[in-house]
């Protein structure tokens, strides 16, 4: 299950410690890319299971209706399948997996935005250093080839 609170915590960053933020950005991005990949696999597996349940139920319901003397129409079979407990359970697992996958996709996109925000914060920090005439910045400015 996708942890939204943890994601929000991971997305936050401290402007006063940009070196650490930059160091962690790639790691966090990779971790969330991995979460997305895992969630996509769960979706594929849940869909496969749901389709297998659907196929088994279709055959079982069709046979049961025929044995009961009821002419099995496609709409009747579909109706019974949708209301069957196993089908509802499989659909629920599939829907939950899809929901987690969507959250992981948006989290990864948020980490792309986070990177852009870190770039902007770094530029701002650099401009502030330039304005204040920080010794570190002026030393770099005086001797750029070194």
Q: What is the pLDDT of residues 36-83, one digit of tens each?
A: 999 999 999 999 999 999 999 999 999 999 998 988 899 999 999 999
CA distance 52 to 68: 24
Q: How far is CA 9 from CA 3, 5, 20, 74, 110, in A?
A: 10, 6, 15, 50, 12
- The residue-averaged pLDDT of 121-129 equals 85
The mean pLDDT value of the chain amounts to 89
Q: Which pTM was predicted?
A: 0.75
Whether residue 36 contacts residue 104, with contact meaning beta carbons closer than 8 Å, is answered with yes
SS3 content of the chain, % helix, strand, coil (to 5): 85, 0, 15
């Amino acid at each position: 299950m996708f942890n939204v609170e943890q994601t929000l915590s991971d997305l936050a960053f401290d402007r006063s410690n940009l070196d650490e933020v930059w160091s962690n950005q790639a790691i966090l991005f990779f971790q969330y890319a991995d979460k997305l990949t895992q969630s996509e696999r769960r979706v594929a597996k849940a869909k496969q299971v749901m389709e297998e349940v659907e196929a088994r139920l279709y055959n079982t319901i069709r046979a049961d209706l025929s044995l009961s003397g009821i002419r099995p129409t496609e709409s009747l079979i579909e109706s019974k399948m949708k209301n069957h407990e196993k089908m509802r359970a499989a659909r629920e697992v599939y829907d939950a997996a899809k929901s987690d996958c969507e959250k992981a996709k948006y989290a990864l996109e948020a980490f792309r935005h986070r990177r852009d925000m870190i770039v902007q914060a770094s530029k701002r920090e650099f401009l502030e250093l330039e304005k204040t005439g920080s010794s570190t910045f002026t030393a770099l400015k005086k001797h750029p080839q070194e």
